Amino acid sequence: MAKGKKRREKVLITGGLGFIFSHVTEHLVKSGYDVAVIDNCSTGSHAEIVDGSFKFYKEDFAEKGAWKRVVELKPDYLIHAAGITDVDYSIKHPEETFINNVMCNLNAFEAARKLKNIKKLVYVSTDEVYGECEHRKHEGEIIFPRNPYSCTRAIGSLMRYAFDNTYKEIFDKTAETRKCNIFGPRQDTRKIMPQIIASLKGTHSIPLQNKGEGYREYLYVKNIPPLMELVMKKGWRTYNITNGEGFTVKELIAKTESLTGKKVKTHPSTRPGHDSAYRMDNTRIVTELGWKPLYSFEEGLREYLELEGIPVVE
pLDDT in tens, 195-220: 999 999 998 999 998 889 999 999 99
**Percent of the chain, pLDDT > 90?**
92
pLDDT for residue 257: 96
Mean pLDDT over residues 93-120, rounded? Answer: 97
Helices (H), the chain: 19-30, 67-73, 87-92, 94-114, 148-166, 192-201, 224-234, 249-260, 283-289, 297-307
Structural domains in the chain, sorted by start:
10-182+220-244+279-295 (3.40.50.720), 188-214+246-278+298-307 (3.90.25)
- pLDDT tens per residue, range 239-295: 999 999 999 999 999 999 999 999 999 999 987 777 899 999 999 999 999 999 999
- Buried b or exposed e, range 178-215, using 16+ CB within 10 angstroms: bbbbbbbbbbeeebbbbbbbbbbeeebebebbeebebb
pLDDT for residue 94: 97
d(CA 132, CA 47): 35
pLDDT for residue 2: 55
d(CA 132, CA 138): 13
Band the pLDDT of 3: cuts 50, 70, 90: low
Closest listed residue to residue 139, CA positions, set 109, 173, 179:
179
From the CB of residue 95, how many other CB atoms can be counted at a distance below 10 Å? 8
- Residue 279's contacts (CB-CB under 8 Å, 6 or more residues apart) are 127, 133, 135, 136, 137, 215, 217, 242, 244, 246
Band the pLDDT of 121: cuts 50, 70, 90: very high
- pLDDT tens per residue, range 34-57: 999 999 999 889 999 999 999 999
- Cα 91 to Cα 175, 187, 282: the distances in Å are 28, 20, 29
pLDDT for residue 4: 61
DSSP 207-246: EEEGGGT-EEEEEEGGGHHHHHHHHHHH--SEEEE--S-E
Mean pLDDT over residues 136-151, rounded? Answer: 97
Instruction: Using the predicted structure, report yes or no on whether residue 188 has a pLDDT greater than 60.
Output: yes
Mean pLDDT over residues 217-235, rounded? Answer: 98
d(CA 240, CA 146): 18
Length of the chain: 314
Band the pLDDT of 172: cuts 50, 70, 90: very high
